[in-house]
């Protein structure tokens, strides 16, 4: 029995919790989603001691140093981090070479055209109120305050009175953390099981190439570069280092959170140094000080997200060139001192990558955190151990083990790169491109319909100009005017079907009237003529409700409010970032299909701007670049960018303008107008308009959500098939 207890005591419960969690998720699938709150509760429990622990560790660790010691330690820590940054960034840029060829594009999102908030780097790093920094989770500001306080105490003769108290507090916090860690396998199991049971293939389909990049790079950094450098340069063995890091690594992998394992990292380093008889008071202090500092400064784990920036540049058809690498690297190092969610939008902007790419990063951040966080843990271990032995003057390469690991590193890098390139090449061939997605969208609920490519002669006599709901029902036909190739409001999909936001609503309107529907094409300048001559009953297709048209036709209540924007080549979007930049151009050619009054006003006020009206939007994308930009709604612009991924959308800052769109009827057809307005109000309250917007504009539901596979479901299906066959 004692042997059983000893075996249970020595088991790595973190590892077993991780393995059992994955197995449980694969077996039971979505049935274990209820475990997620339990895992999140344990994460919150671990966070209780973290901020106090950082304060105590830094103040006590620095306060106990002599002035000469602290200068030496911080200087060598800086050299260590710089060396690891150089080596790690070189590996990151090597992995960018493994990207295959492809095309790009994305659906509209309101966040894509929202102006980025100004980043207050002073607030981020200068703690005017350290207590507020702690309450807001501003780790950089809190660390800087603690470093300043610790340095200030070094020369204070009475510092021991405070340091002794803080040291006791730190010991209490360590005991608390250890007690929580004993039960943390429950949290690891819960989070891993819920993630493995609920994550679906649709979450991986669009960004699987980026995921492969991050996984291959992360594995190279975690299991090759960082631990092998430590093993090559210090007395710490590779196998021992993996064992020491194991619990912190597993916790960071399961939770996607490095912050909660900082005490585990510190205590693990101190315990291992004591085990190999390399521990002393100075090394313990260095560990206590450097762990939170290494977490705050850009880590190689955090810098792996730079792969997303290079991926986004490749995704938009403008991969980062060799001459851009030095500038991108410098910008990355400066911006990554802030939060990743500040750094990535800044990097995207600096590289002229459309801001919509950031939404892709957010959609994958939960998955990539499973790689980024463990890599950060290994990096913190590496920085701290290298710095400790650097201070002890025990770093050297004059060993067979050093040559072995450095040789192995040089072999493993191309091996991981080949693996990444081969996998991504295969995925690129099987990935559905963005233009395929929008070109295969369909109207779900259709009524019998006819789509014409001209106005029938029978309609051209003008006898049908006066129409009402009773006449429409009597003839059993609703005639809808549509604009050709007005993506995403009315366009033809790959099957030749007329689809789009307004086309879907037209089918719904005809269904409620219990009549068939007929679609008749028109051009924007023909709107008033065709309506008032009775060629069709209602005009749709994302029509701008223009003041100039009010005297000729009647508009319904607004259906949507669209954001005016410019579409231009991706590499030129920066030229149109603000109103002042647009107006400062000595010569500018702007194309448009709608917005005639607005364009005339712009041309009259700004002589350097030439306005060119096009028959349709496609003419802009297929022209020989006679126009610098196209004036269009952001919603439509993003849809067009999916067909033409070399183009992007920008809303110039200082020139933000929204406008309503709606349906139009002939000036005399008041009965139809009244019906439409009431019908629209009903559809708004029922959520029909919002659902259509979510599908056609935002792209929600364009990929069918599949039921999460599980072993239990597979067994049930097989058993059912067997019973039926019997």
Burial class from Cβ neighbours inside 10 Å (0-12, 13-18, 19+) for residue 607 reads exposed
Distances in whole angstroms, Cα of residue 117 to Cα of each of 335, 480, 653? 15, 43, 12
CA dihedral 417, 423, 425, 429 (to 10 degrees): -170
| Position 120 confidence tier, pLDDT thresholds 50, 70, 90 | low
Structural class in CATH, domain 438-559+665-696:
alpha beta
User: Is pLDDT of 1 > 60?
Assistant: no
| Position 458 confidence tier, pLDDT thresholds 50, 70, 90 | confident
- How high is the mean pLDDT of the chain? 81
Tell me the per-residue pLDDT of 33-42, one tens digit each, with 9 for 90 and over: 888 888 777 7
| Residue 260 to residue 177: CA distance in whole angstroms | 9
Closest C-alpha among 382, 80, 79 to residue 223: 382
Q: Which residue has the higher pLDDT, 539 or 700?
A: 539
What DSSP designation does 67 have?
A: H
- Residue 265 tokens read as 């990292």
- Residue 533 tokens read as 């001559």
Q: Domain extents for the chain? A: 2-79+105-199+209-429, 438-559+665-696, 563-660
Over residues 7-18, the mean pLDDT reads 61
User: Is pLDDT of 152 > 50?
Assistant: yes
What DSSP designation does 703 have?
A: S
Q: Residue for token digits 């008033």?
A: 528
Assess whether the region 2-79+105-199+209-429 and the region 438-559+665-696 belong to the same CATH fold: no
User: Is pLDDT of 485 > 80?
Assistant: yes
User: Is pLDDT of 225 > 90?
Assistant: yes
User: Is pLDDT of 65 > 70?
Assistant: yes
What pLDDT, on a 0 to 100 scale, did the predictor assign at position 7?
Answer: 42
| Residue 440 to residue 278: CA distance in whole angstroms | 65
- Residues 6 or more apart whose CB falls under 8 angstroms from that of 627 comprise 589, 590, 591, 612, 620
| Position 4 confidence tier, pLDDT thresholds 50, 70, 90 | very low
332 near 306, Cβ under 8 Å?
A: yes
Q: Which residue has the higher pLDDT, 336 or 668?
A: 668
Over residues 313-341, the mean pLDDT reads 72
User: Is pLDDT of 181 > 80?
Assistant: no
Most confident of 21-30, 245-254, 557-566: 557-566
**Helix extents (H) in 13-128:** 13-28, 36-47, 50-63, 67-95, 121-125
Radius of gyration for the alpha carbons in the chain, expressed in angstroms and rounded: 32
225 near 87, Cβ under 8 Å?
A: yes
Tell me the per-residue pLDDT of 508-525, one tens digit each, with 9 for 90 and over: 999 999 999 999 999 888
Most confident of 345-359, 553-567, 591-605: 553-567
What pLDDT, on a 0 to 100 scale, did the predictor assign at position 355?
Answer: 57
479, containing H or E segment: strand 477-483
Instruction: At 299, give phi and psi (nearest 5°).
Output: -95, 160
User: Is pLDDT of 223 > 90?
Assistant: yes
- Residue 389 tokens read as 């032995």
379, containing H or E segment: helix 357-391
- Residue 322 tokens read as 């060799």
- DSSP character string of 277-289: T---HHHHHHHHH
As beta bridge partners, residue 483 has: 522
Q: Which residue has the higher pLDDT, 348 or 6?
A: 348
Over residues 160-172, the mean pLDDT reads 85
Burial 133-162 (b: 16+ CB within 10 A, else e): bbeeebbbbbbbbbbebbbebbeeeebeee
User: Is pLDDT of 205 > 70?
Assistant: no
What pLDDT, on a 0 to 100 scale, did the predictor assign at position 704?
Answer: 55
| Residue 108 to residue 563: CA distance in whole angstroms | 11
User: Is pLDDT of 706 > 60?
Assistant: no
Over residues 546-572, the mean pLDDT reads 88
What pLDDT, on a 0 to 100 scale, did the predictor assign at position 703?
Answer: 57
* 2-79+105-199+209-429 placed in CATH 1.10.3860.10: yes
The backbone region for 310, taken as left when phi is positive above 0, alpha when psi lies in -120 to 50, beta otherwise, is alpha
Tell me the per-residue pLDDT of 381-414, one tens digit each, with 9 for 90 and over: 999 999 999 988 888 877 788 889 989 998 999 9
User: Is pLDDT of 231 > 70?
Assistant: yes
pTM of the entire predicted model: 0.61
**Cis-peptide into 488, omega within 30 deg:** yes
| Residue 352 to residue 152: CA distance in whole angstroms | 44
| Residue 220 to residue 238: CA distance in whole angstroms | 14
197 near 32, Cβ under 8 Å?
A: yes
Over residues 259-273, the mean pLDDT reads 87
Q: Which residue has the higher pLDDT, 471 or 463?
A: 471
C-alpha distance across the termini of the chain, in Å: 49
Over residues 298-320, the mean pLDDT reads 80
Question: E-assigned strands of 299-456?
Answer: 449-451
User: Is pLDDT of 3 > 70?
Assistant: no
618 near 542, Cβ under 8 Å?
A: no
As beta bridge partners, residue 631 has: 566, 592
Architecture of the structural domain at 563-660: 3-Layer(aba) Sandwich (3.40)
Q: Residue for token digits 């099981």?
A: 193
486 near 542, Cβ under 8 Å?
A: yes
Over residues 442-448, the mean pLDDT reads 65
Tell me the per-residue pLDDT of 590-648, one tens digit each, with 9 for 90 and over: 998 888 888 888 888 888 999 998 888 888 888 767 889 999 988 888 888 878 877 88
Q: Is the dihedral of CA 136, 139, 140, 143 positive or negative?
A: positive
User: Is pLDDT of 317 > 70?
Assistant: no
What pLDDT, on a 0 to 100 scale, did the predictor assign at position 660?
Answer: 93
- Residues 6 or more apart whose CB falls under 8 angstroms from that of 29 comprise 197, 198, 708, 709, 710, 711, 712, 713
User: Is pLDDT of 457 > 80?
Assistant: no
629, containing H or E segment: strand 629-633
Return contacts of 655-659, CB within 8 angstroms, 24+ apart: 655/578, 655/579, 655/582, 656/115, 656/563, 656/564, 657/563, 657/564, 658/561, 658/562, 658/563, 658/564, 659/544, 659/545, 659/561, 659/562, 659/564, 659/633
């Amino acid at each position: 029995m004692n042997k059983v207890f000893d075996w249970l005591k020595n088991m790595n419960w973190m590892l077993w919790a991780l393995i059992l969690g994955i197995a449980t998720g694969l077996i039971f699938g979505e049935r274990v989603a209820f475990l997620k709150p339990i895992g999140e509760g344990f994460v919150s429990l671990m966070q209780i001691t973290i901020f106090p622990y950082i304060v105590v560790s830094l103040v006590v660790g620095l306060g106990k140093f002599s002035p000469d010691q602290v200068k030496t330690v911080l200087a060598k820590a800086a050299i260590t981090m710089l060396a690891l940054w150089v080596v790690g960034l070189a590996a990151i840029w090597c992995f960018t070479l493994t990207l295959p060829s492809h095309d790009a594009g994305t659906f509209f999102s309101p966040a894509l055209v929202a102006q980025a908030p100004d980043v207050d780097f002073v607030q981020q790093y200068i703690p005017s109120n350290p207590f507020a920094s702690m309450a807001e989770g501003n780790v950089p500001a809190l660390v800087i305050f603690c470093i300043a306080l610790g340095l200030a105490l070094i020369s204070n003769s009475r510092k021991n009175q405070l340091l002794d108290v803080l040291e006791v507090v730190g010991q209490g916090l360590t005991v608390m953390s250890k007690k929580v860690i004993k039960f943390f396998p429950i949290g690891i199991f819960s989070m891993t099981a819920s993630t493995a049971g609920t994550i679906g293939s649709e979450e991986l389909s669009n960004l699987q190439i980026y995921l492969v990049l991050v996984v291959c790079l992360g594995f190279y950094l975690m299991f090759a570069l960082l631990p092998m450098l430590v093993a090559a340069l210090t007395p710490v063995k590779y196998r021992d280092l993996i064992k020491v890091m194991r619990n912190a690594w597993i916790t960071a992998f399961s939770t996607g959170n490095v912050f909660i394992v900082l005490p585990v990292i510190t205590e693990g380093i101190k315990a291992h140094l004591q085990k190999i008889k390399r521990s002393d008071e100075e090394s313990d202090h260095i560990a206590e000080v450097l762990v939170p500092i290494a977490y705050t400064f850009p880590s190689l784990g955090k810098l792996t997200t730079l792969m997303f920036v290079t991926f986004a540049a490749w995704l938009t058809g403008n991969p980062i060139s060799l001459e851009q690498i030095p500038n991108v690297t410098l910008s990355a190092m400066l911006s990554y001192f802030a939060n990743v969610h500040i750094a990535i939008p800044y990097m995207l902007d600096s590289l002229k990558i459309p801001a919509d790419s950031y939404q892709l990063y957010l959609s994958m951040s939960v998955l990539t955190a499973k790689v980024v966080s463990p890599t950060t843990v290994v990096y913190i271990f590496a920085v701290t151990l290298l710095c400790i032995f650097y201070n002890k003057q025990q770093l050297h390469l004059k060993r067979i083990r050093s040559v072995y690991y450095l040789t192995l590193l040089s072999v493993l890098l191309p091996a991981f790169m080949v693996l990444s390139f081969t996998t991504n090449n295969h995925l690129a061939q099987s990935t559905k491109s963005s233009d395929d997605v929008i070109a295969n969208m369909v109207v779900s609920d259709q009524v019998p319909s006819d789509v014409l490519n001209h106005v029938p002669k029978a309609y051209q006599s003008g006898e049908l100009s006066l129409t009402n709901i009773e006449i429409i029902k009597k003839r059993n036909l609703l005639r809808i005017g549509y604009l050709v190739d007005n993506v995403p409001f009315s366009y033809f999909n790959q099957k030749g079907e007329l689809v789009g936001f307004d086309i879907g609503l037209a089918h719904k309107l005809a269904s409620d009237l219990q009549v068939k529907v007929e679609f008749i094409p028109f051009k924007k300048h023909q709107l008033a003529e065709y309506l008032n001559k009775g060629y069709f009953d209602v005009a749709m297709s994302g029509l701008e409700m223009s003041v100039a048209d009010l005297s000729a036709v009647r508009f319904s209540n607004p259906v949507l409010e669209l954001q005016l924007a410019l579409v231009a080549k991706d590499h030129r979007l920066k030229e149109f970032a603000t109103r002042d930049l647009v107006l400062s151009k000595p010569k500018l050619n702007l194309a448009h299909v709608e917005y005639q009054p607005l364009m005339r006003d712009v041309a009259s006020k700004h002589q350097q701007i030439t306005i060119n009206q096009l028959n349709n939007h496609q003419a802009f994308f297929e022209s020989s670049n006679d126009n610098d930009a196209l004036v269009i709604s952001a919603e439509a612009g993003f849809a067009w960018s999916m067909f033409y991924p070399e183009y992007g959308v920008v809303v110039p800052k200082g020139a933000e303008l929204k406008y309503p769109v709606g349906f139009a009827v002939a000036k005399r057809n008041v009965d139809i107008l009244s019906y439409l307005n009431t019908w629209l109000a009903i559809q708004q309250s029922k959520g029909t308009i919002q659902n259509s917007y979510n599908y056609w504009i935002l792209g929600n539901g364009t990929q069918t959500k599949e039921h999460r596979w599980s072993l239990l479901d597979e067994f049930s299906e097989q058993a059912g098939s067997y019973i039926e066959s019997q």
